[in-house]
Homo-oligomer: A and B are copies of this chain.
Amino acid sequence: MDSKIITIKEAITDLLHDGEVLYLGGFLQHEPYAAVHEIIRQKKKGLTVSKCAGMIALDQLIGAGCVDKVISTYIWNPLPKPAHALRRCIEKGIPHKIEMEEYSILSLTLAYFAGALDLPFVAAKTLLGSDFPQHSSFLGENKMKIIESPFNGEKVCLIPPLKHDLGIIHVQRADSFGNAQTWGIMGDSKYGINSCSKVIICAEEIVSTEVIKRDPNRTIIPGFKVNAVVKEPWGGHPSYISGYYDIDWRHFSFYDKATQTLDGFENYLREWVYGVKDRNEYINKIGKDKLDELRPKSWNSNPVDYGYCSKFQGDYLL
Protein backbone atom coordinates (compact mmCIF):
# COMPACT_ATOMS: atom_id res chain seq x y z
CA MET A 1 0.00 0.00 0.00
CA ASP A 2 1.17 3.53 -0.65
CA SER A 3 1.89 5.85 2.21
CA LYS A 4 -0.64 8.64 2.69
CA ILE A 5 1.74 10.92 4.56
CA ILE A 6 1.69 14.52 3.33
CA THR A 7 1.99 17.92 5.01
CA ILE A 8 -0.98 19.67 6.57
CA LYS A 9 -0.61 22.38 3.93
CA GLU A 10 -1.02 19.82 1.16
CA ALA A 11 -3.82 18.04 2.97
CA ILE A 12 -5.92 21.19 3.45
CA THR A 13 -5.25 22.35 -0.11
CA ASP A 14 -6.22 19.01 -1.59
CA LEU A 15 -9.06 17.88 0.62
CA LEU A 16 -10.95 20.92 1.93
CA HIS A 17 -12.86 23.15 -0.46
CA ASP A 18 -14.82 26.33 0.19
CA GLY A 19 -18.42 25.63 1.16
CA GLU A 20 -17.84 22.09 2.40
CA VAL A 21 -19.08 20.53 5.62
CA LEU A 22 -16.14 20.02 7.98
CA TYR A 23 -16.10 17.86 11.09
CA LEU A 24 -13.49 18.74 13.70
CA GLY A 25 -12.68 15.86 16.01
CA GLY A 26 -11.51 16.10 19.56
CA PHE A 27 -13.41 16.49 22.76
CA LEU A 28 -10.89 18.86 24.41
CA GLN A 29 -8.28 16.20 23.77
CA HIS A 30 -7.60 15.37 20.08
CA GLU A 31 -8.52 18.81 18.69
CA PRO A 32 -6.56 19.46 15.46
CA TYR A 33 -5.20 22.95 16.13
CA ALA A 34 -2.42 22.67 13.53
CA ALA A 35 -5.01 21.89 10.87
CA VAL A 36 -7.32 24.67 12.03
CA HIS A 37 -4.51 27.21 11.72
CA GLU A 38 -3.68 25.98 8.23
CA ILE A 39 -7.36 26.34 7.22
CA ILE A 40 -7.19 29.96 8.42
CA ARG A 41 -3.92 30.58 6.57
CA GLN A 42 -5.46 29.21 3.39
CA LYS A 43 -8.46 31.53 3.90
CA LYS A 44 -11.08 28.83 3.31
CA LYS A 45 -14.57 30.33 3.10
CA GLY A 46 -18.19 29.35 3.57
CA LEU A 47 -17.52 26.27 5.66
CA THR A 48 -20.12 24.51 7.73
CA VAL A 49 -18.20 23.36 10.80
CA SER A 50 -19.48 20.60 13.03
CA LYS A 51 -17.76 20.26 16.39
CA CYS A 52 -19.29 18.71 19.45
CA ALA A 53 -17.30 20.29 22.27
CA GLY A 54 -13.85 21.70 22.66
CA MET A 55 -11.81 24.71 23.39
CA ILE A 56 -11.04 27.59 21.02
CA ALA A 57 -10.52 25.90 17.63
CA LEU A 58 -14.01 26.81 16.45
CA ASP A 59 -13.76 30.32 17.91
CA GLN A 60 -10.66 30.93 15.81
CA LEU A 61 -12.26 29.66 12.60
CA ILE A 62 -15.36 31.79 13.20
CA GLY A 63 -13.36 34.90 13.98
CA ALA A 64 -11.15 34.37 10.94
CA GLY A 65 -14.22 34.41 8.70
CA CYS A 66 -13.93 30.84 7.40
CA VAL A 67 -17.32 29.75 8.69
CA ASP A 68 -20.91 30.35 7.54
CA LYS A 69 -22.66 27.68 9.58
CA VAL A 70 -21.93 25.94 12.86
CA ILE A 71 -23.18 22.72 14.46
CA SER A 72 -22.13 22.45 18.10
CA THR A 73 -22.98 22.04 21.77
CA TYR A 74 -20.22 24.03 23.42
CA ILE A 75 -17.88 26.88 22.38
CA TRP A 76 -16.14 28.26 25.46
CA ASN A 77 -12.53 28.91 26.39
CA PRO A 78 -13.53 26.81 28.34
CA LEU A 79 -16.55 27.53 30.57
CA PRO A 80 -17.02 30.03 32.14
CA LYS A 81 -14.64 32.04 29.94
CA PRO A 82 -16.47 33.14 26.80
CA ALA A 83 -15.25 32.48 23.30
CA HIS A 84 -15.08 36.13 22.27
CA ALA A 85 -15.09 35.71 18.49
CA LEU A 86 -18.24 33.63 18.71
CA ARG A 87 -19.94 36.32 20.78
CA ARG A 88 -18.89 39.10 18.42
CA CYS A 89 -20.16 37.04 15.53
CA ILE A 90 -23.58 36.16 16.95
CA GLU A 91 -24.24 39.38 18.82
CA LYS A 92 -22.79 41.81 16.27
CA GLY A 93 -22.33 39.92 13.01
CA ILE A 94 -18.53 40.32 13.01
CA PRO A 95 -16.89 39.35 10.64
CA HIS A 96 -20.20 38.20 9.14
CA LYS A 97 -23.40 36.59 10.30
CA ILE A 98 -23.42 32.84 10.78
CA GLU A 99 -26.19 30.33 11.28
CA MET A 100 -25.99 27.91 14.17
CA GLU A 101 -27.55 24.56 15.03
CA GLU A 102 -27.25 23.70 18.69
CA TYR A 103 -27.54 20.24 20.19
CA SER A 104 -26.85 18.58 23.50
CA ILE A 105 -23.76 16.36 23.65
CA LEU A 106 -25.75 13.14 23.75
CA SER A 107 -28.00 14.09 20.86
CA LEU A 108 -25.09 15.36 18.75
CA THR A 109 -23.04 12.24 19.49
CA LEU A 110 -26.04 10.13 18.48
CA ALA A 111 -26.36 12.18 15.28
CA TYR A 112 -22.68 11.44 14.55
CA PHE A 113 -23.25 7.79 15.46
CA ALA A 114 -26.19 7.66 13.04
CA GLY A 115 -23.98 9.40 10.48
CA ALA A 116 -21.13 6.92 10.92
CA LEU A 117 -23.50 3.98 10.46
CA ASP A 118 -25.72 5.86 7.98
CA LEU A 119 -28.77 4.96 10.06
CA PRO A 120 -31.96 6.80 9.07
CA PHE A 121 -32.40 8.05 12.64
CA VAL A 122 -32.09 7.18 16.32
CA ALA A 123 -34.81 7.82 18.90
CA ALA A 124 -33.93 9.25 22.32
CA LYS A 125 -35.61 10.65 25.42
CA THR A 126 -33.48 13.78 25.59
CA LEU A 127 -34.22 17.28 24.18
CA LEU A 128 -37.93 16.81 24.90
CA GLY A 129 -39.31 19.88 26.64
CA SER A 130 -36.23 21.95 25.89
CA ASP A 131 -36.11 24.82 23.40
CA PHE A 132 -33.60 23.05 21.11
CA PRO A 133 -36.03 21.25 18.81
CA GLN A 134 -38.00 24.35 17.78
CA HIS A 135 -34.93 26.50 17.21
CA SER A 136 -33.44 25.14 14.05
CA SER A 137 -31.82 27.20 11.34
CA PHE A 138 -30.21 25.74 8.22
CA LEU A 139 -31.12 22.14 9.05
CA GLY A 140 -34.77 23.12 9.29
CA GLU A 141 -37.17 20.19 9.64
CA ASN A 142 -34.29 17.77 9.34
CA LYS A 143 -32.59 18.77 12.57
CA MET A 144 -34.77 16.56 14.77
CA LYS A 145 -38.42 15.59 15.11
CA ILE A 146 -40.59 14.77 18.08
CA ILE A 147 -43.08 11.99 17.33
CA GLU A 148 -45.13 9.44 19.23
CA SER A 149 -43.39 6.07 19.32
CA PRO A 150 -45.06 3.53 17.03
CA PHE A 151 -44.41 0.97 19.78
CA ASN A 152 -46.06 2.55 22.80
CA GLY A 153 -47.16 6.07 21.94
CA GLU A 154 -44.67 7.83 24.20
CA LYS A 155 -43.07 10.99 22.87
CA VAL A 156 -39.58 10.45 21.49
CA CYS A 157 -37.07 12.69 19.80
CA LEU A 158 -35.86 11.37 16.45
CA ILE A 159 -32.27 12.33 15.67
CA PRO A 160 -31.28 11.92 12.01
CA PRO A 161 -27.67 11.37 10.93
CA LEU A 162 -25.11 14.11 10.47
CA LYS A 163 -22.53 13.37 7.81
CA HIS A 164 -19.58 15.47 6.72
CA ASP A 165 -17.49 16.06 3.62
CA LEU A 166 -14.20 16.14 5.50
CA GLY A 167 -13.16 15.18 9.02
CA ILE A 168 -9.94 16.08 10.79
CA ILE A 169 -8.70 14.75 14.11
CA HIS A 170 -5.40 14.88 15.94
CA VAL A 171 -4.55 11.47 17.42
CA GLN A 172 -1.77 9.94 19.47
CA ARG A 173 -0.50 7.69 16.70
CA ALA A 174 -1.23 6.37 13.24
CA ASP A 175 0.54 4.32 10.61
CA SER A 176 1.25 5.74 7.18
CA PHE A 177 -1.94 4.18 5.78
CA GLY A 178 -4.16 6.01 8.24
CA ASN A 179 -4.97 3.35 10.82
CA ALA A 180 -5.37 5.74 13.75
CA GLN A 181 -5.17 4.99 17.47
CA THR A 182 -6.17 6.99 20.51
CA TRP A 183 -6.56 6.66 24.25
CA GLY A 184 -7.91 8.80 27.04
CA ILE A 185 -11.19 10.73 26.95
CA MET A 186 -12.87 10.24 23.59
CA GLY A 187 -16.16 12.21 23.71
CA ASP A 188 -17.78 12.15 20.27
CA SER A 189 -14.63 11.64 18.21
CA LYS A 190 -14.92 8.03 17.07
CA TYR A 191 -18.43 8.48 15.70
CA GLY A 192 -17.72 11.92 14.26
CA ILE A 193 -14.61 10.94 12.36
CA ASN A 194 -16.34 7.86 10.98
CA SER A 195 -19.18 10.01 9.59
CA CYS A 196 -16.94 11.80 7.07
CA SER A 197 -16.47 11.12 3.34
CA LYS A 198 -12.86 12.29 3.44
CA VAL A 199 -10.56 12.07 6.47
CA ILE A 200 -7.30 13.74 7.50
CA ILE A 201 -5.48 12.11 10.41
CA CYS A 202 -2.98 14.33 12.19
CA ALA A 203 -0.80 12.37 14.58
CA GLU A 204 1.78 12.97 17.26
CA GLU A 205 3.67 9.94 16.00
CA ILE A 206 3.75 7.85 12.87
CA VAL A 207 4.25 4.23 13.87
CA SER A 208 4.74 1.02 11.96
CA THR A 209 1.69 -1.06 11.12
CA GLU A 210 3.08 -3.66 13.50
CA VAL A 211 2.54 -1.29 16.43
CA ILE A 212 -1.06 -0.89 15.29
CA LYS A 213 -1.51 -4.64 14.95
CA ARG A 214 -0.11 -5.27 18.41
CA ASP A 215 -3.08 -3.37 19.84
CA PRO A 216 -5.86 -3.27 17.25
CA ASN A 217 -8.61 -2.50 19.80
CA ARG A 218 -7.26 1.05 20.03
CA THR A 219 -7.91 1.81 16.36
CA ILE A 220 -10.77 4.31 15.97
CA ILE A 221 -10.89 4.38 12.17
CA PRO A 222 -9.44 1.94 9.65
CA GLY A 223 -6.90 3.30 7.18
CA PHE A 224 -9.04 2.57 4.15
CA LYS A 225 -11.37 5.40 5.15
CA VAL A 226 -8.47 7.85 5.50
CA ASN A 227 -7.21 10.12 2.70
CA ALA A 228 -4.20 11.78 4.30
CA VAL A 229 -1.92 11.28 7.29
CA VAL A 230 0.01 14.22 8.70
CA LYS A 231 2.82 13.92 11.21
CA GLU A 232 2.34 16.93 13.44
CA PRO A 233 3.95 16.73 16.89
CA TRP A 234 2.36 19.23 19.30
CA GLY A 235 -0.43 19.64 16.75
CA GLY A 236 -3.01 19.61 19.54
CA HIS A 237 -1.46 22.54 21.48
CA PRO A 238 -2.79 24.52 23.38
CA SER A 239 -5.08 21.63 24.32
CA TYR A 240 -3.72 18.26 25.41
CA ILE A 241 -2.88 14.79 24.22
CA SER A 242 -2.75 12.19 27.02
CA GLY A 243 0.77 10.89 27.39
CA TYR A 244 2.27 13.61 25.17
CA TYR A 245 1.48 17.01 26.67
CA ASP A 246 -0.88 18.66 29.10
CA ILE A 247 -3.17 21.65 28.52
CA ASP A 248 -1.32 24.95 28.23
CA TRP A 249 -3.63 26.90 30.52
CA ARG A 250 -1.56 30.03 30.25
CA HIS A 251 -2.18 30.09 26.54
CA PHE A 252 -5.95 29.87 27.02
CA SER A 253 -5.80 32.62 29.60
CA PHE A 254 -3.70 34.71 27.22
CA TYR A 255 -6.17 34.02 24.38
CA ASP A 256 -9.03 35.14 26.62
CA LYS A 257 -7.40 38.45 27.38
CA ALA A 258 -5.95 38.97 23.90
CA THR A 259 -9.16 38.37 21.94
CA GLN A 260 -11.65 40.42 23.92
CA THR A 261 -11.43 43.08 21.23
CA LEU A 262 -11.59 42.61 17.49
CA ASP A 263 -8.16 44.21 17.14
CA GLY A 264 -6.82 41.88 19.77
CA PHE A 265 -8.25 38.87 17.98
CA GLU A 266 -6.69 39.97 14.70
CA ASN A 267 -3.38 40.54 16.42
CA TYR A 268 -3.58 37.03 17.85
CA LEU A 269 -4.12 35.56 14.39
CA ARG A 270 -1.34 37.70 12.96
CA GLU A 271 1.05 36.54 15.60
CA TRP A 272 0.13 32.87 16.10
CA VAL A 273 -1.45 31.85 12.80
CA TYR A 274 -0.51 34.08 9.87
CA GLY A 275 2.82 34.89 11.46
CA VAL A 276 4.06 31.30 11.38
CA LYS A 277 4.20 29.19 8.29
CA ASP A 278 3.63 25.83 9.95
CA ARG A 279 3.38 24.06 13.27
CA ASN A 280 7.13 23.79 13.53
CA GLU A 281 7.47 27.57 13.56
CA TYR A 282 4.55 27.72 16.01
CA ILE A 283 6.21 25.41 18.52
CA ASN A 284 9.52 27.24 18.17
CA LYS A 285 7.61 30.39 19.03
CA ILE A 286 6.04 28.72 22.08
CA GLY A 287 9.56 27.88 23.16
CA LYS A 288 11.29 24.85 24.50
CA ASP A 289 11.01 25.82 28.16
CA LYS A 290 7.26 26.16 27.99
CA LEU A 291 6.90 22.91 26.09
CA ASP A 292 9.03 21.13 28.67
CA GLU A 293 6.72 22.34 31.41
CA LEU A 294 3.79 20.70 29.64
CA ARG A 295 5.40 17.29 29.31
CA PRO A 296 3.58 14.72 31.40
CA LYS A 297 4.84 12.40 34.06
CA SER A 298 4.22 8.93 32.72
CA TRP A 299 1.29 6.68 33.60
CA ASN A 300 1.80 3.61 31.46
CA SER A 301 -0.58 0.82 30.69
CA ASN A 302 0.63 -2.72 31.14
CA PRO A 303 1.06 -4.68 27.90
CA VAL A 304 -1.77 -7.09 27.14
CA ASP A 305 -1.45 -10.30 25.18
CA TYR A 306 -3.49 -10.93 22.01
CA GLY A 307 -1.80 -14.28 21.39
CA TYR A 308 -3.18 -17.49 19.92
CA CYS A 309 -1.71 -20.87 18.97
CA SER A 310 0.01 -20.80 15.63
CA LYS A 311 -0.20 -24.57 15.46
CA PHE A 312 -3.00 -25.72 13.18
CA GLN A 313 -5.55 -27.73 15.16
CA GLY A 314 -8.29 -27.78 12.56
CA ASP A 315 -7.29 -31.26 11.44
CA TYR A 316 -9.67 -32.46 14.14
CA LEU A 317 -12.49 -31.03 12.07
CA LEU A 318 -11.46 -32.77 8.86
Q: A: which residues have CB within 8 A of B?
A: 81, 117-125, 141-142, 145, 147, 149-151, 154, 156, 158, 160, 172, 183-184, 186, 211, 214-215, 217-218, 240, 242-244, 246-250, 252-253, 293-311, 313-314, 316-317
Which residues of chain B come closer than 8 Å to A308, judged between CB atoms? 240, 242, 246, 296-297, 299
Q: Are A299 and B293 in contact (CB under 8 A)?
A: no
Q: Are A183 and B147 in contact (CB under 8 A)?
A: no
- Nearest-CB residue, chain B, relative to A214: B301
Q: Are B304 and A301 in contact (CB under 8 A)?
A: yes
Q: Are B249 and A317 in contact (CB under 8 A)?
A: yes
Q: Are B242 and A313 in contact (CB under 8 A)?
A: no
Q: Are A120 and B156 in contact (CB under 8 A)?
A: yes
Q: Which 9 A-B pairs have the closest CB atoms?
A: A243-B305, A296-B307, A215-B301, A246-B309, A120-B123, A300-B303, A250-B316, A299-B307, A120-B156
- Nearest-CB residue, chain B, relative to A182: B217
Which residues of chain B come closer than 8 Å to A309, judged between CB atoms? 246, 293-297
Which residues of chain B come closer than 8 Å to A247, judged between CB atoms? 313
Interface of chain A, helix or strand or loop or mixed? loop
Report the Cα distance A297→B311, complex, angstroms. Answer: 10
* 8 intermolecular pairs with C-beta atoms under 8 Å apart: A121-B149, A122-B122, A183-B215, A215-B304, A242-B305, A243-B307, A298-B307, A299-B308
Interface centre among A154, A211, A293, A300 (most CB of B within 10 A): A300
* Closest beta carbon of chain B to A171's beta carbon, Å: 12
Report the Cα distance A300→B215, complex, angstroms. Answer: 8
* Closest beta carbon of chain B to A37's beta carbon, Å: 22
Which residues of chain B come closer than 8 Å to A218, judged between CB atoms? 217, 304
Report the Cα distance A217→B30, complex, angstroms. Answer: 15
Which residues of chain B come closer than 8 Å to A145, judged between CB atoms? 150-151
Q: Are B305 and A300 in contact (CB under 8 A)?
A: yes
Report the Cα distance A125→B114, complex, angstroms. Answer: 12
Which residues of chain B come closer than 8 Å to A154, judged between CB atoms? 120
Cβ-defined partner of A184 (8 Å) among B123, B248, B249, B306: B306
Report the Cα distance A305→B214, complex, angstroms. Answer: 15
